[in-house]
Structures are given as structure tokens and as C-alpha cells.
Structure 1
Amino acid sequence: MHALVKGDQATTYPSGGFYVDRNPMIFHHILDYHSGGEFHLPKNICPLQARKEIEFWRIPSKDIHNCCFEVLYNENNYQYTCIENLESDLKVQKNQSVSPLFGEKKVRNCLGRLRYKLLEAYLHPLTTWTGRVWLFISALVTITSVVVYLLNSDPKFRIPREGLSLLPYNLTYDMIIENEKLLFFITTTREHVKSVLEFLTNTFLLLELLVLFIITHHKRRFLLSLQNLLNFVTGLAVYVAMYIDIYSIYELGNEHFDNFMIALGVFQSLRVIRFLRLVESTPEMKILKLSLHESWREFVLLLMVLTAFSLIFGSIMFWMELDNPDTFPSIFISIWWAIITMTTVGYGDFYPKTPEGYCVAIVAAIFGLLLLAMPITILASNFNSFYNCYKYRKRHVELSK
């Protein structure tokens, strides 16, 4: 009985030879396996193709030698799969469209075509003239908004406020306000030109966010996106801060109002995250996000280990410096010192003054260097693997055209 083995099917023939239509480079290793009992592969073989051959010939994994496991299962298979899943975002193929968001139906009406073009321009801004113009205008407005925000906090670019409200008992603001920063914002205001620029740029960015919400087909995902939520809250915070600053609405001595102003200032500062919009559509930024996502376990482990060693070294340092009343007044301060030392920041506000404390500081610094080196190396390795896979995939697509 003779057989023709082709693909994944076998057909018997009454006469003829035994013909195998499989990979000839791997087949002689299959014969070696049946004669010797172990399966080996050369290093220059594609691991995905080798795994298909192993599955076809039903070779058990226990018979695969340890030296070949790296070839079969650790040659960036996972990275290749992730890059292939991100092809729609990475824009590897020039003729690729945004059909996953629209389905297979063709868009025939004018509004649908406009929506399609806008969404394609947003997802792939560097491939269309509409996307390039949109990205340029958005970048210009974002940079202007951030620059105006920075200038409004500098004393050189603010003017004295006119028409300050009178205080009771003939007191002045500098007599009842000890905080010089708060006194500066109360007695000065922003220039009219900068107020107009901030209002226009912030309005444009909010309108851009509204347009993105209208054209997207994943509205729930858009609303739940942390970046979009922060952009929206930041835009509202800018309007509120402008209103308070222009009309001098300050409640002196109100602790809740002071906390509200701090929160408002923090949300205004978050407008800098709009810079991510300028680079998030590039392949390198997407690969960086993917690398960070795949390295989150290592960062969580770093945080846990760093916290544990900070408690250890901080506690030891507190007791080592117990006889010195000028250093580390509490164990919480010594833990703060341990964190700053292990992260190689070293503010110098607290430091040991005894030989025992010096020894603890040396050990803490060495441990900090070792702990920080490991997750950074893992992140760099993940980024390098994903980026190399992306380059190989892009080259393969270009050569296959």
C-alpha cells in the first residue's frame, strides 16, 4: 500500500512510490527522530513552520530536545502575533483602510464619506493630506495653549489687577495673606491677549474632542478612555480658572476654597498630556505603549520590592541615628530618605551623620541601583523585540507586493 501525503491529507494509491509533499528541510529531521528517538532542528529554521511540521507528524513535546525548545517557542512568536494584531493601527500596508471600524459596507452618502475621511485622517495622520493638516493645526494649537499657560504663571507676564475689593478695618492683602504665591495671583491678572488666546485654543481642543466623539464608532470606549476624560476635565478646568482669575473670585481664609484651587491648578497642568496626541499615531509610540503594557508585572514587582526595602532601610537608619538628635526626627522621615536614596534622587534634606548610618546608606544605594536596573532592562528588551518584529513585518509586506 502506497500513500500520497499532501498538505494535511493523505490519499492511498494502489501502485507507485511513497511521495511526501512537506518541507524537505525539516523532513530529514523527522526521519532522524524516528531512527534516533530525539527531535532536533537547525537554528536557521522558521519556528512557526517548524511547529506546524511537528503538529502534522504528531511528535510529542517530550521528545523535543531542550536545545531546540528555544528555536520553537521563544523566537518572538508572541511579539509577531501582537504586531499582526496591531497592523490596522501601525499602517503597515499603504492601501489599508479603516474598514474594521465601518464593517464591509460601502459608505455612499456625503456625511458618511466625510466621517470616513476624518476618521482615517485621525487614525493615520501621516498618510493623508487631511491628516497632516489636522495634525499640524492641532500641534500648533496645543503648543500655543501650553505656552500661554506657562506664561500666565510667571510674574513677568502678568499685570497688576485693578479694582481690588476693599478689606475691612483698612487692612491690605499683604497684611492678611502670608502665602506669597496666593498673594501674587490675587493682586495680579493675566493680559487680555493671553486670555483670548487661551480661550480660543482651549475651545478648539474641546471642539476637536467633540468631533472625535461624533466620528468614532466606539463611543463607549471613547468615553471610558482615561486620556479623553482627562482632556475634557482639563478643558473645563481652564474655563473655570480663567473666570476666577479674571473676575478675582477668591475666598480668603476658606480652606475648602484653597483645596479647590489646588485641584484646579493640577487639572490645568494636565493639559500637557495633549502632546501625546502628536505622537500617539506613530508606530514607535504604539509599540512603546505595547511594551509598557507587557511590562506592567515587572513594574508592579518593582514597586512592591522597593516599598519593602524602603521600610527595611528606613527603619534601620532611624535606629542607627537614634543617638543623633539632628537627623531623622521620625521613622517616616527615614523611610522618605530611603526611597529618595534607592531611586538615586538624593535631595540631601536628610542624611546620616554616624558611621553606622553611612554603611546603611551605602547598602541602600547599591540595592536601589540593582532594583531599578532590572525593570528598565526588561522594558528596553520588550521594546526592542516588538520594534524589530515590526520592522521585519513591514519589510516582508513591502517585498510581497
Structure 2
Amino acid sequence: MSDADNRVILNVGGIRHETYKATLKKIPATRLSRLTEALANYDPILNEYFFDRHPGVFAQILNYYRTGKLHYPTDVCGPLFEEELEFWGLDSNQVEPCCWMTYTSHRETQETLGILDRLDLDTDKLAEEDLYKKFGWEEEFLSNKLNFWQRIKPKLWALFDEPYSSMAAKIVAVVSVFFIVISILSFCLKTFPGLRVPIISNETVLIDENGSTSFVLHKHRSEPHTAFLYIECVCNSWFTFEIITRFAVTPDKREFLKSPVNIIDFIATLSFYMDMVLNQVLSEEETSYEVLEFFSIIRIMRLFKLTRHIAGLKILIHTFKASAKELLLLVFFLIVFIVVFAALIYYAERIQYNPENSFDSIPIGLWWAIVTMTTVGYGDMAPKTYAGMLVGALCALTGVLTIALPVPVIVSNFSMFYSHTQARSKLPKKRRRVLPVEAVRPKSQSAGPMGPKGPGQRGGLEGMKSGPGLLDSKLNRLGANTLQSMMSPFSVQSYFPLAMPNAAAAAPAQAAAAQASKLISGTVYG
């Protein structure tokens, strides 16, 4: 077999590639290793295989067959590269290590976009059809068969859960944020001594042995001013109305109950009513105001409700979730170094005589190590010996380096989430749909020297020499305009457009065109 017979031409996206058949056999069970002339994309006239695929990616794929190393082109998107590899029957895990990080970056991007989809950060108004589709009533909406509740429920949901859906929804969101801020301020201000009312009782005390008595005012405790109770009643009335309404109109009650923000809202609202009931049921002697006020700290967790209205808080929370591995690694190293330096400072302070030694035990040294490694430095405990000072310096330097290591990762994750959120908000919501169209496959001939059932069937250039049938079909495929441009020198009408205005006068031109066709056929087939 000659060298020319061992070559194969591949036309991929209009760019022709030529290689040896043995090269394509290097990777078995792939599309290129199973090429035969019986395939529909084989062109016997040009003796090439045509593939309507990305030519830039195919250059790297063909190089993989030649060298055995698969590199990732940097000017191609990752999902497109994966689709091309899947079409050619190759495994994406064969990408070289030098290109692996660049190649897999699109997977992280897709995961990030998936998280942003679940966060529901869209600030655009939902179309009415999409709104009813969310509740599963799209067909009823299109056929206009909705009852009153089905019409009003999606609108109420959008009013309380989609702040950007309408002006009324924005007003509801502002009112909700207002009551959250007022509730938190009330919770904080009622602990201020100047805003608390002392509970005083008049007690009689014995002054001397003669039985003389006197009255003394005794302060038992202090309670918040009555105004704070009214403020909390108004705020919690709104919170109760809001959570009941949102639960009634939510499209998925199970997902509503699983939401952490809704759980916090429910517990905080419930704690207010439990506080009211216990104050009414229990007597003053049985009531422990300190315990009740401690449990009311749950209400401050309502700050997390602001994540429903502020997209940046959602991004920040999920940034910490995405950086959980780095944060756990930070905590692990901090615990290890804290224990090590607590033990070192304990023994370092005992080496020298030190009457002012504050490190009586290793557990006390743990507190000093935490304060030193986090660079807080309260100053309540400090080493007095030279060995202890050396340990303290090493502890501070280690803390700075340990805490600084995961910070860039967290900042990078936040920047990635935020940049994708900004880019996603600027994307057009409606795009032109691309319809999948199958390639037109040529009809098989049942007879003839070039047909699949013909006795004289041959492939390649040999089949082309057996007769003019394939060339005729090729010329027909080129179209009448191309054929006319090829024969334009023989067209009499193009040179004498005014001499032959009728069909009879055009007969010599048609005869000249026929002779030209015979000359071309004789040249090709001869």
C-alpha cells in the first residue's frame, strides 16, 4: 500500500486535516478509529470525511492521536470542550496535568451558578405566566380556568416573598425591615439602666432592742419600661401576620418549614408569646425574670431575616459555607498551636524564679494562648521571664501566620460569588431559541455502478472513474447558479443581450452551452 493510500483527509468545520489511518487507530473504540467509506459524511469526489464540529478543538484532538497528550485550548469554553470530547468518543479525564486546573475551572463556575439559582437573587419581575407556573397552574392560567383563590394566591406570594415584583411588594419589604430594626432596637434599649423601672417594696425593720421600727425601701429587681411592651406587641403582631400569610400562600410548604430563616422567625415569635403567658400564669415569686430574659435573646436572631431582602448577606453566608473546609482547617491548626503554646508558657514561667507567675496551670495558659494568637492581647496575663517572653513572641507570630492563610480563600470565594451575581443580573432573561436540525443524509442508490448494490461497486477515486454519475450529482448539488457561472464564457446572451430577444434567437446559445458541457465531461472522464 502506497503512502497516499494510507492517508485520510478530515474536513472539520471547513478546515481540512490530513493524517495517516494508522494514527487514528492508536486510540480504539473512538469515532475516528471506525472511519469507513460507507459513512454518510464521506465525500468520494473530494475523498474526505466531513464533520460539522468545532475546528479549533479538533486540532487538539488530532494532536492527541499523534502525540498521546490531550491539551485544553484556552480560547474554548469548558462545556464546549466536553461536548466535543464526547462526540469524538474521548475521555475528559485524559487532559494533561498542566491544563487540568484551567479545564476544570468551568465546573466550579457551574456549581457557583447552581448555588446562585438556589439563592433566588433575581431582582427582575416575574412574568405572569411564570408566576402561575411556579404554583403548577400554568395550564389553568392559559385556559382561563382559575378560581378566586388560585388567582389571588400567587399574587399574595409575590407581595410578601418577591420584593421586586411590584411597588406594593417593595412597600411590604420596607415595612418588614422597619419592624425588624425596631424590634432589635427595643430588645437592646430595654437593658439600659436608665430605661428600666425598679421594683421597690416598703419593708419594716427593727432599729433597736426597745422595739423601735422604721420603714426601708428595698429594691428587688428592675423591669423594662412599659413602653417596650407595647412596642414588642406591635412588632410581633406584624411578624405573626407575616409568617402566617407567607405559610398560607407558599407554593411548597415543606420547603418553607425547612428554611432556617423561617425557623428562626417562628421560634422568635413563639418566644414572645411564651414570655407573655408565663408572666401571666406564674406568680411574682415563681417567675425568674433573668431566665425569661435570657431566652428572649432568641429574638435578636431576627437579624438573619434581613437576608431575605439583602442579597449581599445571602452571598456572605454562602461564602462561609463554600469556605467551610478552609475554616475547619484554620480551627484545627489554632487548637493544635493553642495547646502547644499553653504547655510551653506554663513550663517556661517555672524555669526561673518568678513570684508574680500568673500561669498556675495549663488550662489558664490556654486562655492566654487564645488571646495572643488572635492578636487581641487583653493584658491580664503576661510572661515575666525571658523564656516566657520568647514563647509569647513565637505564639503571636504563629497566630498571625495561621489566621492569615485562609483569609485570601474566603475573600476569593466572596469575590467569585459577587462577580457571578453581578454578571448574572445583567444577562438577558429571554434568548433566541436554537432549534435542533438533523443533517440531511444522501439517498442511497439501488442500482448502477456507484450504488451500494451495484456489481461494480468501488470506493474513492476508483468509483469516480467508473462513470459520470457521481460527478453529475455533484454538479447538481452545486446548483444552477454555480453551473451558469462556470459556463458564462459560452453564454451568447451574456455578450449579445439585445441581439436575441426571443426564444428562437436563443437557440444558438443553447447549442454552444451543450457543446461546452460535453467538452467539460470529456476532459474530466477522459
Q: Does the aligned pair in 1 maintain the 2:375–2:399 contact within 8 Å?
A: yes
Describe the superposition over 1:380-401 as per-residue Cα deviations: whole angstroms up to 9, x where unpaired.
Answer: 2112222223333333436947
Cα distance, 1:136 vs structure 2: 0.8
Matches within 5 A, 1:79-118: 79-84=109-114, 86-87=116-117, 89-91=120-122, 94-95=125-126, 97=130, 101-105=134-138, 106=140, 108-118=146-156
- Alpha-carbon spacing, 1:99–1:357, altered in 2? closer, same or farther (3 Å): farther
For residues 243-262 of structure 1, the aligned pairs below 5 Å read: 250-251=284-285, 261-262=290-291
Q: Which amino acid aligns with 2:192?
A: D
Moved more, 210-219 or 99-108: 99-108
**1:179 matched to which residue of 2?**
none
Gaps of 5+ in 1: 175-182
Q: Counterpart in 2 of 1:50? A: 81
SS of corresponding position for 2:405: helix
Quick one: structure 1 residues 67 and 94, their matched pair in 2 at CA, closer, same or farther if it must change by over 3 Å?
farther
Tell me how far apart the structure 1 counterparts of residues 311 and 85 of structure 2 sit (CA, whole Å).
34
Other-structure match for 2:345: 317
Partners in 1 of 2:418 and 2:221 — Cα distance?
Answer: 53
Could you tell me the percent identity over the aligned residues?
27
Q: Is the 8 A contact 2:72 2:95 kept in 1?
A: no
Is 1:393 aligned with 2:427?
Answer: no
Aligned twin of 1:296:
324
Partner of 1:34: 65
> Unpaired segments of 5 or more residues in structure 2?
1-7, 14-29, 32-38, 207-213, 433-526
CA deviation vs aligned residue, 1:95-139 (integer Å, no higher than 9, x gap) = 464567523544623323332123223432133223211111111
Give how far 1:46 is off.
Answer: 1.0
Question: Helix, strand or coil: the match of 2:313?
Answer: helix
What is the match of residue 18 of structure 1? 49
State the Cα distance separating 1:64 from its structure 2 match.
2.9
Aligned partner of 1:149 in structure 2 is: 187
Task: Give the stretch that moved more between structures: 80-89 or 92-101.
Answer: 92-101
Moved more, 236-245 or 208-217: 236-245
C-alpha contact (below 8 Å) 1:223/1:229 kept by paired residues: yes
Of the candidates 402, 406, 409, which is equivalent to residue 375 of structure 1?
A: 406
Q: Which of 377, 387, 392 is residue 356 of structure 1 equivalent to?
A: 387
C-alpha separation in 2, matches of 1:365 and 1:153: 37
Q: 1:275 aligns with which of 303, 322, 343?
A: 303
Task: Pick closer, same or farther for the CA change 1:301–1:120 going to 2, 3 Å.
Answer: same
CA distance in 2, matches of 1:343, 1:382: 23
Q: Does the C-alpha gap of structure 1 residues 116 and 64 become closer, same or farther in structure 2, counting only changes over 3 Å?
A: same
TM-score by length of 2: 0.63
Residues 1:168 and 1:250: Cα distance change in structure 2 (over 3 Å): farther
Q: Report the CA distance between 1:47 and its aligned residue.
A: 1.5
Aligned AA (2:307):
V
Closer, same or farther: CA 69–336 of 1 in aligned 2, 3 Å = same
Per-residue CA deviations over 1:290-324 (Å, capped at 9, x if unaligned) read 32222222222222222222111112212222354
Question: Helix, strand or coil: the match of 1:90?
Answer: coil
Q: Which letter maps to 2:40?
A: T
Higher relative contact order (CA 8 A, sep 6+): 1
**Residue 167 (structure 2) aligned to one of 129, 141, 144:** 129
CA 1:213–1:173: 2 relative to 1, 3 Å: farther
Quick one: distance in 2 between partners of 1:167 and 1:187? Answer: 19
Corresponding residue of 2:415: 384
SS at structure 2 position matched to 1:370: helix
Give the 3 Å change call, closer, same or farther, for CA 366–294 of structure 1 in structure 2: same
Query: For residues 172 and 246 of structure 1, what CA distance do their matches in structure 2 show?
Result: 29
Q: Which moved more, 1:134-143 or 1:264-273?
A: 264-273
Residue 14 of structure 1 deviates from its aligned partner by: 6.9
Indicate if the aligned counterparts of 2:346 and 2:365 stay in contact, CA closer than 8 A.
Answer: yes
* Cα gap change, 1:13 to 1:42, in 2 (>3 Å): closer
- Shift in alpha-carbon separation, 1:211–1:149, aligned structure 2, 3 A: same
1:44-100 deviation line (CA, Å, top 9, x unaligned): 22122112212222334565333222231124x223234145436122664464567
Which moves more between the two structures, 35-44 or 373-382? 35-44
Q: Considering only CA atoms, is the larger Rg found in Structure 1 or Structure 2?
A: 2
Question: Structure 1 residues 190, 130: CA separation in 2 closer, same or farther (over 3 Å shift)?
Answer: same
Residue 223 of structure 1, CA deviation: 3.2
Q: Supply the distance in 1 between the matched residues of 2:217 and 2:256 (Cα, whole angstroms).
A: 46
Higher fraction of helix: 1
- The equivalent position to 1:285 in structure 2, one of 287, 290, 313, is 313
**Partner Cα separation in structure 1 for residue 217 and residue 52 of structure 2:** 91
- Asked whether the 8 Å contact 1:295–1:378 carries over to 2, the reply is yes
> How large is the Cα RMSD of the aligned pairs?
3.6
CA displacement 1:259-318 (0-9 Å, x = unmatched):
x834x3343233233233233344433332332222222222222222222111112212
3-state SS of 1:347 partner: coil
Q: Which amino acid aligns with 2:181?
A: I
CA–CA distance in 2 between the matches of 1:354 and 1:194? 54
From the superposition, tell whether residues 67 and 45 of structure 1 become closer, same or farther in structure 2 (CA, over 3 Å).
same
What is the aligned partner in structure 2 of residue 178 from structure 1? none
Distance 1:398 1:243, change over 3 A: closer
Whole-Å separation in 2 of the counterparts to 1:93 and 1:84:
18
1:143-189 CA distances to partner (integer Å, 9 max, x unpaired)? Answer: 11122222211122233446x48589889685xxxxxxxx6xx4443
Q: Quick one: structure 1 residues 116 and 25, their matched pair in 2 at CA, closer, same or farther if it must change by over 3 Å? A: same
Cα distance, 1:344–1:78 mapped onto 2, change above 3 Å = same
**Per-residue deviation at 1:376?**
2.5
TM-superposition CA deviations, 1:315-350 (whole Å, max 9, x none): 221222235454023321111111122122222222
